Chains A and B, each alone.
Chain A
């Protein structure tokens, strides 16, 4: 394949090897080459956070990461989020608290929250608000999203 190079990733626990162009972002690779479309494209300039994934456990904006720069890394996307207790709890809380409307920002929100709980097992309000500040939502006004994450934080703190 002219102009393409081999990218090897561990995506959600699966070893994946695909050919990508040097100019392809991780978002291009995930959505268009690997076929995992749960990660959303909202801006392509890092403004919106809809493409948030975890690279080696840390949150990253897939639209700003060149795919070949993460060759060999572990990548976690929304498709695997329910396998992790913290993000599964956040998903459930978003459902019950009304923290999801159109659902376009939600994959990014879930992974940002996942990263938040990895850093702070029981985040306080300031940490929650800061942890979600890179993720735009246009439907909810954020209040129900923050409340959903706070509910998980309270449950974690109590356990």
Chain B
């Protein structure tokens, strides 16, 4: 490992020295005769040749005969009544095939049953700059753009609510008539006795934090192609992580049966949560295809992607942590106010996640959470990697560090004193099955030599620690019911190959390959012998989608069950053929063979043929239901937070802070993630590093800015400041395996759980380096300079106050929520 004095160009550690696997169990179930040990072998994505050669077909690459281009006219106002809209000139233009407005798409939809508040096109009121006001289908983009300019809209501008405080105060008509206080949802949870806990505390630290809205910035813009068959059926090719939600949303909006909408996910050029629901272009494309009889394609511009948003909400967090004299957490109190934009999307889930996961890394017994999801006149927020947990985790970790310091404890010791136990339940009824967090912590502390560095590095250099976690699939589905969360089907072909049909969408995270590995391992064949068909709603069984880090665990378990059932069929048939008991047979090394005498065997191909000759097409399926005991407590909002399992992560960041310029440079990151078991270390590593990277960007550069008219000021990748290779720290990645008792081969989440830890790790490292806490993200040079100047002012009593005036945006005060009546909905205190 390179030393930290190495200030040459940033570089990446060689894989051999950093992709360590710290396993807590025997990792060698295979024998020498297995030619292709599928589980635990670094396996490139099965379609990676396509991925590196530009051959993958994304939605923007779809070309159908006669295809028209769709475009939206968007609102220039944050809040306005549509007085009139005249499309007659537009409709008359040559090359324009159809124009639609709000009255054509009047039926409401939304991804959550409690959030049916969207229409594809605004009906009589616009609620954010960029909201869809009309749509056209024309022969090409140029004609479509000209057509939009020919639409005359008269608006009556209303007062707009552009931040949470403003929306909570109210001054004009509310954004939605049924949300008179501009609050989408509020929750007030009390577990244990936090007041008594704080009384018992030796130290209590409280502070406020601000996280601006950030967005996924997937490289591929959103888009869809819709085709109508003339007989009532639609086909949509779209860029989505959740084709079943798109199917449901489009069917609802158009008032047709779900079965008449077939959704085929194209290759998805990055999701990160941003493509997890029905978008206005999905509905408009379908409608325009029906009207014109021709396929219609919508592809968002980059600016439109920022307007679609569905990213992380602006969040205001007040966090209070008390520690007892022995370093144990005495009580935790958190108030989260999220500015969720104009529509609900997943917002109720987002606000609940910000509270539910406060108690699932450390042993917290006394907890209070107050959460408010506020409606504002900005683009709607949605789910983004680490959904709901990021700000709360940043605030918790920082306040924990400060309380520990006040108590004279270092950041490692305070964490070690507050561990959970595997097999336990948290105070808010989350079930902890496997718990590799202690191992994650020990791994990064040792690898980074944290204890040698903390408070001991020269001024301007610092280290910090952060922890995080995430659900490995939500135990409660968006749509309640007794259905399984996923079903996976297998079909064995006569040539010895296997086709796997899964509704879980491959979005580059490696889910197709992970399911193939599970099937291959179970059938004793190579992953490359499995062809995966994923996502197409007409071909694959229902799966809820590639979000909430649910696929490896849920679709993985379903794939495992399907493969085991296929193996059982083959064993039964081969047992008769070889005249041996079926339970004596195993599937290994592309053979079905006797465990006693390996010479007694037939090839996998022969076994398939023997079985298919009697049965015809060989098909099996498996399904996954979360166990009832994993579904959480019985208080309002208890349904969000329970996962079937949880991943854990610990990270150390080492930074250098230039006190002249305020620049923060991340030199090294040590990241350890407990993924249960790495089915595919190559993609596990990719998910950990991608998460760390995305969190690092949120910590240091990314922020969506709005002006006083509600216009997004930086809707481009350059101005939004997506980091480049030049910002690359040395990244040391460690995979920790805790063997989850219910995960497929012990596997659980890896796609999101590592994101949050890097924020507090960097914030804490900046404090270690120069002694200031920056609670307002991103940690920009201006804020560091302002904080250093403020500290100097406080010391010598002068009032230079330089620095603050150079800020890109002024500091945001924590909003005050006025309670209007003592008896509000959802105020029921929850006790476990």
A106 surroundings in chain B (CB, below 8 A): 51-52, 54
CB proximity to A under 8 Å, residues B543-576: none
Nearest Cβ on chain B to A116's Cβ, whole angstroms: 11
B690, A141: Cβ atoms under 8 Å? yes
Cβ-defined partner of A100 (8 Å) among B11, B52, B301:
B52
With contact pairs A42-B221, A47-B716, A136-B219 given, residues A104 and B58 touching in the complex (Cβ less than 8 Å): yes
Given the complex of chains A and B, what is the CA–CA distance between A132 and B12 in angstroms? 14
The yes or no answer to A158 lying at the interface (CB within 8 A) is no
Chain B, interface size category, equals: 35 or more
Q: Please judge, given known A-B contacts A47-B718, A142-B728, whether A94 and B52 are in contact too, CB under 8 Å.
A: yes
- Determine the chain B residues whose CB is within 8 A of the CB of A37 once the complex forms: 54, 57, 60-61, 63
**Is B686 positioned at the interface, with any CB of A under 8 Å from its CB?**
yes
With A98-B686, A126-B9 as given contacts, are A142 and B270 in contact (CB-CB < 8 Å)? no
Check A110 for interface membership: any CB of B closer than 8 A. yes
Tell me whether B831 is interfacial, beta carbon within 8 Å.
Answer: no
Can you add 9 more A-B contacts, CB < 8 Å, to A45-B718, A146-B12? Answer: A38-B54, A91-B52, A100-B45, A103-B51, A110-B52, A133-B726, A134-B724, A142-B725, A143-B693
- B302 interface neighbour in A38, A43, A107, A110, Cβ under 8 Å: A43
Q: For the complex formed, measure the closest distance between the CB of B64 and the CB atoms of chain A, giving whole angstroms.
A: 13
The answer to whether B219 touches A137 (Cβ under 8 A) is yes
What chain B residues lie within 8 Å of A79 (beta carbons)? 53-54
A138→B685 contact, CB < 8 A: no
> Is B682 an interface position by the 8 A CB rule?
yes
A41 to B297, CA, bound (A): 15
- Interface: B326 (CB within 8 A): no
Give me the 9 closest cross-chain CB pairs, A-B, nearest first: A38-B54, A141-B693, A102-B508, A104-B269, A103-B51, A78-B54, A101-B508, A47-B717, A37-B61
- Determine whether the beta carbon of B52 is less than 8 Å from that of A142: no
A58 contacts the other chain (CB 8 A): no
| Least distance between B822 CB and chain A CB atoms (Å) | 47
Q: Across the interface, do B54 and A77 meet the contact criterion of CB distance under 8 Å?
A: yes
> Which has the most chain A C-beta neighbours within 10 Å: B45, B48, B218, B219?
B219
B216 to chain A, nearest CB (A): 8
A39 at the interface (CB under 8 A from B): yes
Q: Number of residues in A with C-beta < 8 Å to the partner?
A: 58
Determine if A130 is an interface residue (Cβ-Cβ < 8 Å). yes
Bound form: Cα–Cα A99–B258 in Å: 38
Write the residues of chain A forming the contact surface with B, with a CB cutoff of 8 angstroms: 21, 31, 35, 37-48, 50, 77-79, 81-82, 91, 94-98, 100-107, 110, 125-126, 128-130, 132-147, 150
Judged by a CB distance under 8 angstroms, whether B692 is at the interface is yes
17 contacts between A and B (CB under 8 A): A42-B717, A45-B302, A95-B49, A95-B51, A95-B52, A100-B48, A102-B51, A106-B51, A125-B11, A138-B216, A138-B218, A138-B272, A138-B722, A140-B686, A143-B689, A144-B12, A144-B685
When chains A and B are docked, how far (Å) is the Cα of A32 from the Cα of B207? 54
- With the chains together, A31 CA to B57 CA distance in Å? 12
User: Contacts A37-B60, A140-B693 hold; do A50 and B219 have CB atoms under 8 A apart?
Assistant: yes
CB distance from B302 to the nearest CB of A (A): 4
Residues B690 and A140 in contact, CB atoms below 8 Å apart: yes
* Of listed B42, B50, B51, residue having the most chain A CB within 10 A: B51
Please determine whether B56 and A103 come into contact, CB atoms closer than 8 angstroms.
yes
Contact residues in A for B51 (Cβ distance below 8 Å): 95, 100, 102-103, 106
Contacts known (A129-B728, A136-B722, A138-B272); A42 close to B52, Cβ less than 8 A: no
**How distant is the Cα of A126 from the Cα of B9 in the complex, in angstroms?**
6
Nearest CB in chain B: distance from A122 CB, A: 16
Question: B54 contacts A102, CB within 8 Å?
Answer: no
Chain B residues within 8 Å of A44, by CB: 301-302
Which among B12, B53, B268, B302 is the interface contact of A147 at CB below 8 angstroms? B12
B722 / chain A contacts, CB cutoff of 8 Å: 47, 136, 138
Residues in B whose Cβ lies below 8 Å from that of A77: 54
Tell me the bound Cα distance from A47 to B301 in angstroms.
13
The reply to whether A146 and B220 form a contact with Cβ atoms under 8 Å apart is: no
A139 and B725 within 8 A (CB): no
B655 within 8 A of A: no
Contact of B14 among A38, A42, A110, A147 (CB under 8 A): A147
Using CB atoms, name the residue of chain B closest to A102. Answer: B508
Smallest CB separation, A32 vs chain B (Å): 9
Chain A residue with Cβ nearest B509: A101
Write the residues of chain B forming the contact surface with A, with a CB cutoff of 8 angstroms: 8-12, 14-15, 42, 44-45, 48-58, 60-61, 63, 142, 216-221, 267-272, 299, 301-302, 507-510, 682-683, 685-686, 689-690, 692-694, 696, 716-718, 722, 724-726, 728, 731
Closest CB in chain A relative to B573 CB, distance in Å: 37
Per DSSP, are chain A's interface residues mostly helix, strand or loop, or mixed?
loop
A residues near B50, Cβ cutoff 8 Å:
103
A134 to B724, CA, bound (A): 7
User: Given A101-B686, A136-B717, is A125 in contact with B9 using a C-beta cutoff of 8 Å?
Assistant: yes
Q: Is the CB of B728 within 8 A of A81?
A: no
User: B268 is contacted by which of A31, A102, A125, A142 (Cβ under 8 Å)?
Assistant: A102
Q: State in angstroms the CA–CA spacing of A110 and B686 once bound together.
A: 18
Q: Across the interface, do B12 and A103 meet the contact criterion of CB distance under 8 Å?
A: no
Partner of B689, one of A107, A130, A140: A140
A106 to B50, CA, bound (A): 10
Name which of B52, B270, B507, B690 has the most chain A CB atoms within 10 A of its CB.
Answer: B52
> Are the CB atoms of B55 and A38 closer together than 8 Å?
yes
A98 touches B693 (CB 8 A): no
How far, in angstroms, from A138 to B273 measured CA to CA in the complex?
A: 13
Question: Looking across the interface, which residue of chain A has its beta carbon closest to that of B57?
Answer: A37
User: Is the Cβ of A40 less than 8 Å from the Cβ of B58?
Assistant: yes
User: CB distance A103 to B689 under 8 Å?
Assistant: no
Inter-chain CA distance A129–B8, complex, in Å, is: 12
Contact between chains at A102 and B270 (CB < 8 Å): yes
| A139:B690 contact, CB within 8 angstroms | yes
A129, A135, A139, A142: the one within 8 Å of B9 (CB): A129
A27 nearest CB across to chain B (Å): 11
Q: Whole-angstrom distance between the alpha carbons of A105 and B54 in the complex?
A: 9
* Contact residues in B for A45 (Cβ distance below 8 Å): 302, 716-718
Q: What CA separation (Å) do A129 and B731 show in the bound complex?
A: 14
Contact (Cβ within 8 A) A103 B686? no
> How far is B269's CA from A103's CA once the two chains are assembled, in angstroms?
7
Closest to B220 in A: A104
Check A98–B12 contact: CB distance below 8 A. Answer: no
B728 touching A103, Cβ below 8 Å: no
B42: chain A residues at CB < 8 Å are 98
Q: Check A144 against B725 for contact (C-beta < 8 Å).
A: no
Contact of A81 among B53, B218, B301, B724 (CB under 8 A): B53
Between A100, A140, A145, the greatest number of chain B beta carbons within 10 A of the residue's beta carbon is seen for A100
Q: Which residues of B contact A95 (CB under 8 A)?
A: 44-45, 48-49, 51-52
CA distance A144 to B63 in the complex (A): 33
- Residue of B whose beta carbon sits closest to that of A50: B219
- Nearest B residue to A90, CB-CB: B52
Residues in A whose Cβ lies below 8 Å from that of B731: 141, 143
What residues on A are CB-neighbors of B692 within 8 Å?
141
Residues of B with C-beta under 8 A to A43? 302, 716-718
Question: Are the CB atoms of B270 and A138 closer together than 8 Å?
Answer: yes
**Bound complex: CA A40 to CA B685 (Å):** 26
Q: Give the residue among B54, B55, B61, B693 with the most A Cβ atoms within 10 A.
A: B54
Q: In the complex, what distance in Å separates the CA atom of A139 from the CA atom of B301? A: 20
Closest chain B residue, CB of each to CB of A136:
B722
User: Which of B10, B53, B54, B694 is A129 in contact with, Cβ under 8 Å?
Assistant: B10
Among B45, B299, B725, chain A packs the most CB atoms within 10 A around the CB of B725
A24 to chain B, nearest CB (A): 10
Q: Are A139 and B52 in contact (CB under 8 A)?
A: no
Min distance, Cβ A128 to any Cβ of chain B, angstroms: 8
Q: In the complex, are the beta carbons of B725 and A132 less than 8 A apart? A: yes
In the complex the two chains form, is A138's CB within 8 Å of B689's CB?
no
Inside 8 A of A132's CB, which chain B residues have their CB?
724-725
**Contact among A102, A104, A133, A146 with B11 in the assembled complex (CB-CB below 8 Å):** A146
**Chain B residues in 8 Å Cβ range of A107:** 53-54
Please, which residues of chain A bring their CB within 8 A of the CB of B63? 35, 37
